[in-house]
Structure 1
Amino acid sequence: MPLPIPRFHDDARAGQLYLERTGEVAAEARRYAVEHGLRPAREDRVRVAAFGIDVQVGFCIPGASLFVPGAVEDTQRSLRWLYSHLDRLTELVFSLDTHRVFQIFHPAWWRDAEGHPPAPFTNISAAEVRAGRWRATRFPEESLEYCERLEAQGRYVLTVWPFHALLGGVSHALVPAFYEASAFHAIARDTATHFELKGEHPLTENYSVLSPEVTEVKGQRVGEFNTRLFERLMTFDRIYVFGQAKSHCVLSTLRDLRTHIEKTDRSRMGRVHILVDTMSPVPAPPLDPLPPSVDFPRLADEGIDELRRAGMKVVRTTDPLDV
């Protein structure tokens, strides 16, 4: 049977900023563990990971620069699922998108001919950089090559995003309600939460938790596949994936998981469970006609269906977790 929701949790606070109540949460976790006879996670016969991708203030709290519409409701469903299955979740894994002001996808990196930075959501093509429409404020040769390498992959053109997930800023933090859930799980199951930072190199985007969009620029390594995290995830019998945004960081991470499972052991594909009602896409921009490449909701749905056909499980928080 599902466990009851802890007394301190309030669905209405899922989309709110507040100081985490770790002391209160820890006291409740100790009481709750005794009342419900929770075992330490290390005793789990079937090891289950809950993998939360970028459930941070910058994406999940209304008013943040990259708030994803639908993220508050996704957070509510995710948290109810986490608490209800706490006794069967061996480890919580959270990625943290981690940036600074001067990165290739932020406005401070670029200027037009008049010296103005690009507006957020501007696409910058390699052709425009070569023509002088946009110039990099630093590393100009590397910046052009980055755009060229990115476009050669056929998935993205460089997008200038609003400043977001800045290290040291509020938008970088885990949503407070998620942080409380991580602390509650840690105390109640006697196991640490695993946090994984991504996206710190200034010369590449890093949608996927597992690898950057480009790994080398002008002979310089700017990133590589995160073998350590992949191998950690593959130690679990099941991995339940949730987070933001469905069209970008979640989808890119799942595609990386698929690629490397296919390279190593295809039998592990079914371990990955996509909690499809805990993620929302970036909205499509208001363009008419809408270019197919920026119809993010459609691309997200098609991507998830592609992963389902590859062998991953697409599930909902209302489905039973039979372990």
Structure 2
Amino acid sequence: MATNQTNAAFPAYYDPAKVGTLYQSEIAVAAEAGLKAQSAPSAHDKKRVMLLLVDPQVDFILPTGTLSVPGAVEDTRRTIEWIYQHNGEITSIAASLDSHTAFQIFYPTWWINEKGEHPAPFTTISGEDIRNGTWKPVIDPTWSLHYVEELEKGGKYILMIWPYHTMIGTPGQSIVPALSEAIMYHSAARHAQPMWLIKGSIPQTENYSILEPEVKVPTHPLGGLNTSFLDMLSKYDLVYVAGQAKSHCVLSTMRSIIQYFSNQPEVIAKLRFLMDCTSSVQHPAIDFDAIANAELQAMSKQGMRLVTSKDPIN
């Protein structure tokens, strides 16, 4: 494992052993170190490079997180070190924040059975389950059935009940502390404001992709495709993608990007997927990683490149 003692690219405060721990981020220290780095402002970059981080949050990454992804701590360490090593080449960093409240369609609170029991995490609910009364929605029955049927038509996912995670205002919603320091360092060093995308707070739908909900909600201001962000993304020369989990939110985000630019191969050719900076959800009966890798390979045939954090930026 690389350390701040052996790599001059890392600021003195960075400790790789702390990446997997929850602590008070040293934001002021990171900012001061970034300002002293005296990098050229990112506005002057001739080659514009974006790093897009999907849900790099405590609940998905740290071992104590409620939906911790195996391998995510090491993914995050590699991501942090990639940021420090390529600080002068990264123009912008954008990160999504999965943000949930108590009553959402994928939480136990939304559903009940005839015994008055709520579903346990990782229960799946089908349209047939709703129609035969196995599970009844506590809220908005008409939409709930419509939603599950739309998921089944799409063929990507079925509704799964998740443990409570990234709840607004909790530590689990926060960016991993060591990564938040790296983002602050880059921001101060390059005079570059980070971009934050809040997603997942629409009660009636899941929001795996950071760019659109699983089922569109026309009555909600965030209920459609985020075309303004996608159009902005296309203005960069290169777009690197990392985050959690590869099998779900990262993969869904890539689907949104690839589909939106399906008639613009020159934009897809700008995409770089950091394969060693993301991991899949593990399930005893479903090989999510194999499914994700197969789809990523298909995307690579459309022009997206699969790279690692050790590859040069190009």
Shorter-chain TM-score range = over 0.9
**SS of match in other structure, 1:87:** coil
Q: Give the alignment partner of residue 305 of structure 1, picking from 286, 297, 307.
A: 297
2:313 alignment partner in structure 1: 321
Identity %: 38
Measured in 1, the distance between the counterparts of 2:310 and 2:187 equals: 24
How far off its partner does 1:295 sit? 2.2
Residue 25 (str. 1) matches residue 30 (str. 2): yes
Worse overlay, 161-170 or 24-33? 24-33
Task: Kindly indicate whether residue 15 of structure 2 is the aligned counterpart of residue 10 of structure 1.
Answer: yes
Correspondence for 2:113: 112
Aligned residues: 307
- Supply the AA of the counterpart residue of 1:25: A
- After superposition, where does 1:177-216 map in structure 2 within 5 Å? 177-216=178-217
2:143 maps to 142
CA distance in 2, matches of 1:20, 1:180: 6
Mapped to 2, the partners of 1:319 and 1:25 lie a distance apart of 26
Considering only aligned residues, what root-mean-square deviation do their CA atoms show, in Å? 1.3
Partner secondary structure for residue 310 of structure 1: coil
Question: Which residue number corresponds to residue 266 of structure 2?
Answer: 267
- Quick one: distance in 1 between partners of 2:8 and 2:241? 20
Which residues in structure 2 correspond to 1:1-323 (within 5 Å)? 4-33=9-38, 38-216=39-217, 220=219, 223-263=223-263, 265-284=264-283, 286=284, 290=285, 294-322=286-314
Q: What secondary structure does 1:300 align onto?
A: helix
8 Å CA contact 2:56, 2:176 repeated in 1: yes
3-state SS of 2:56 partner: coil
In structure 2, distance between residues paired with 1:256 and 1:142: 23
For each residue in 1:24-73, what CA deviation from the matched residue of structure 2 results, as whole angstroms up to 9, or x when unmatched?
1111112222xxxx100000000000111000001001111100000000
Q: Structure 1 residues 136-145 or 41-50, which shifts more?
A: 136-145
Shift of residue 251, structure 1, vs aligned partner: 0.5
Write out per-residue CA displacement over residues 192-227 of structure 1, whole angstroms, 9 at most, x where no aligned residue: 1001111111001000011111004xx856710001
* TM-score, L = length of structure 2: 0.95
Deviates more, 1:228-237 or 1:52-61: 228-237
Whole-Å separation in 1 of the counterparts to 2:219 and 2:93:
34
Q: Which runs of 5+ in 1 are unaligned?
A: none
Letter paired with 1:72: V
Please give the secondary structure, in 1, of the residue aligned with 2:256: helix
Q: Distance in 2 between matches of 1:3 and 1:141?
A: 59
Q: Deviation digits for residues 260-310 of structure 1, max 9, x if unmatched?
A: 1114x22111100000000000002x2xxx3xxx32111111111111111
Post-superposition Cα deviations, 1:168-212, rounded to whole Å, max 9, x if no partner, equal 111111111111111111110011100111111100100001111
Runs of 4+ in 1 over 6 A off after TM superposition: none
Contact 2:52/2:93, CA 8 A, preserved across alignment: yes
Task: Calculate the TM-score normalised by the size of structure 1.
Answer: 0.92
Offset from partner CA, 1:53-98 (integer Å, 9 cap, x none):
0000010011111000000000111111110000000000001111
How far apart, in 2, do the equivalents of 1:96 and 1:235 lie? 23
* Structure 1 partner of 2:3: none
In structure 1, what is the Cα distance between the partners aligned to 2:232 and 2:63? 33
User: Structure 2 stretches of 5 or more lacking a match?
Assistant: 1-6
Whole-Å Cα distance in 2 between the matches of residues 47 and 16 of structure 1?
Answer: 32
Query: 8 Å contact 1:3–1:83 — kept in the other structure?
Result: no
Distance 1:298 1:48 in 2: 29
Q: Assess if the C-alpha contact under 8 Å between 2:100 and 2:165 holds in 1.
A: yes
* 2:273 aligned counterpart, secondary structure: strand
